[in-house]
Structure 1
């Protein structure tokens, strides 16, 4: 028994030494870090990932960081791919609010968002705007509310697909007004906005990254923002918040977070988190994010524990909204 104990002790010590060495040299010279983005290239989340990768590589000794756009099935394909990846720190996941909505939207998932990942920190928050077609009779939110009430079941509320940011915002908007609208799902935000500008649908609630330029060009009517406080972006600074207009606790932002597969060494996760937090203070990264209308995270959510606690609360929040709407993606 003593001999076995000594052998086991030596083996454990050797394993710990190897692990410690691997952690201290992360990222190893010549090793590429892959960030999986479960959405198409060129979209808002992809843009955040590429901006972050450009800054983080400098914090990680000019490491090579590549983006893998593994889109499809409401982001579950890419997230699942990340969950199955080697937990050595060389495969990461960057995704948005979907991490907190898919546990309810999908009845069966091949992974568990809380148990199958290490949380590395929240990156930013992207505000949303409520906009309408150019010919909509309503010229302000009070008139929108009145018009929707008089046209129950006839109002077309566009979204970029089930589980998208615009879909989630739309669900909360309907619940807040207690009025039924007809959802019109599209394969992405671009065609949804195009049809809105073409007066084919009535309303849309989507990210500032997708709507600011159309609002500035007056190609759509803008009614409100979904944040707790007004925004400072020139094209949006005069828009009221939905909370100030009477929709209590209506605060919807599309946040992005960074993750690693479960079991990634704590020391590696810490290095990733430190590189991310340094990037959040990088003037160039901040400038690029502000151009997207995004707000850099500065609270406890930038830390792994705060990040996970936040996602747990978001799962509960969106679970109620999705269940109330009876909307599921099988």
Structure 2
């Protein structure tokens, strides 16, 4: 039997065009039809936590654009690395996407053994929102202001229980930097997500928590927790009268959470393109904009909503946080 190339060379232009169309049409059809069934959006933290809140609002709006349901699935554990490993090893067909925050960049420095490489195991869809953090305390903790809290912390030290969302979480990073800046050492209490950590704070089982505005603004408005300040240098639009920690003496203190959307490495450019377009439309949806506004989340500018921008940002964040974490001797294994 002659080689396939010889057969094609002997065909008339019309027959050659027809055969080539048959060969490539399945791929074209698959790209045109995507998505044909629901998409899973994996969230690496507990339901009810700040990243979960962003995910559910985003999934709802992206589903409208894609004309398919986007189902949020919470896969918790190990500071988000279990979920990241799950997505990295998933079928690269565009039906499993991943919303993660700053923890994507800190994982290489925190974990000596990862099932994935944050920079090489994923396709990039785009950045989503930035979320400032706030320093909160249980309602009956004696200090009423941050200045009073600093004095109280220096006098009580490790008697203060500082909650976080588990190893590698941004709340842990924020708490570690806070202790360093204040020159104190608290007793840290890890939870599986900031949702459970906030529940413990509300129940007065822990004393302090550094958490995202997506979860804390309702409590600040209700006054059922004590609020000591914002962790970004700029005041929040939603809390114009609330001073930042930088203003209150922790000069240069700046911690916020950024979120990106990913898919498994090898996901087709066509699927990534459709997902990116759905992301861009979702970020402009009035319901999403209103929801983020109320939560204190800041939607990223259009130039950051691209795969290329997210890739460059992640590379820069890995390079930024790696030396910081190593210098602080912060690691998980």
TM-score surpassing 0.5? yes
Taking a change above 3 Å as real, the CA distance of residues 192 and 68 of structure 1, as seen in their structure-2 partners, is closer
CA separation in 2, counterparts of 1:170 and 1:131? 11
Taking a change above 3 Å as real, the CA distance of residues 6 and 97 of structure 1, as seen in their structure-2 partners, is farther
Matched, 1:275 2:278: yes
CA separation in 1, counterparts of 2:128 and 2:7? 45
1:260 corresponds to which residue? 263
RMSD over aligned CA atoms reads: 2.8
Does the 8 Å CA contact 2:45/2:192 hold for their aligned counterparts?
A: no
1:55 corresponds to which residue? 61
Q: CA deviation at 1:297?
A: 1.4
Q: Between 157-166 and 273-282, report the one with greater CA deviation.
A: 157-166
Does the 8 Å CA contact 1:133/1:196 hold for their aligned counterparts?
A: yes
Q: CA deviation at 1:211?
A: 2.0
Taking a change above 3 Å as real, the CA distance of residues 151 and 89 of structure 1, as seen in their structure-2 partners, is same
Q: TM-score, normalised by structure 1?
A: 0.86
2:225 maps to which of 220, 235, 246: 220
Taking a change above 3 Å as real, the CA distance of residues 248 and 23 of structure 1, as seen in their structure-2 partners, is farther
**Aligned partner of residue 122 in structure 1, secondary structure:** strand
1:109 corresponds to which residue? 114
Matched, 1:288 2:291: yes
Matched, 1:39 2:42: no
Q: Which 5+ residue runs of structure 2 have no aligned equivalent?
A: 10-15
Taking a change above 3 Å as real, the CA distance of residues 81 and 6 of structure 1, as seen in their structure-2 partners, is farther
Q: CA deviation at 1:54?
A: 1.5
Matched, 1:146 2:138: no
Does the 8 Å CA contact 1:222/1:239 hold for their aligned counterparts?
A: no
Q: Deviations over 1:258-315 (max 9, x none)?
A: 1011111223212211110111000011122223332211153211111111112222
Q: Which 5+ residue runs of structure 1 have no aligned equivalent?
A: none
CA separation in 1, counterparts of 2:144 and 2:46? 34
Q: Between 257-266 and 70-79, report the one with greater CA deviation.
A: 70-79
**Aligned partner of residue 131 in structure 1, secondary structure:** strand
Q: TM-score, normalised by structure 2?
A: 0.86
Q: Deviations over 1:58-100 (max 9, x none)?
A: 222x123222322223222221111111212122111222211
1:319 maps to which of 309, 319, 322: 322
CA separation in 2, counterparts of 1:68 and 1:193? 20
Query: Number of paired residues?
Result: 324
Taking a change above 3 Å as real, the CA distance of residues 262 and 324 of structure 1, as seen in their structure-2 partners, is same
Taking a change above 3 Å as real, the CA distance of residues 313 and 12 of structure 1, as seen in their structure-2 partners, is farther
Higher CA-based Rg = 2
CA separation in 1, counterparts of 2:7 and 2:123? 31
**Aligned partner of residue 127 in structure 1, secondary structure:** strand
- How does 1:131-210 map onto structure 2 within 5 Å? 131-197=136-202, 199-210=204-215
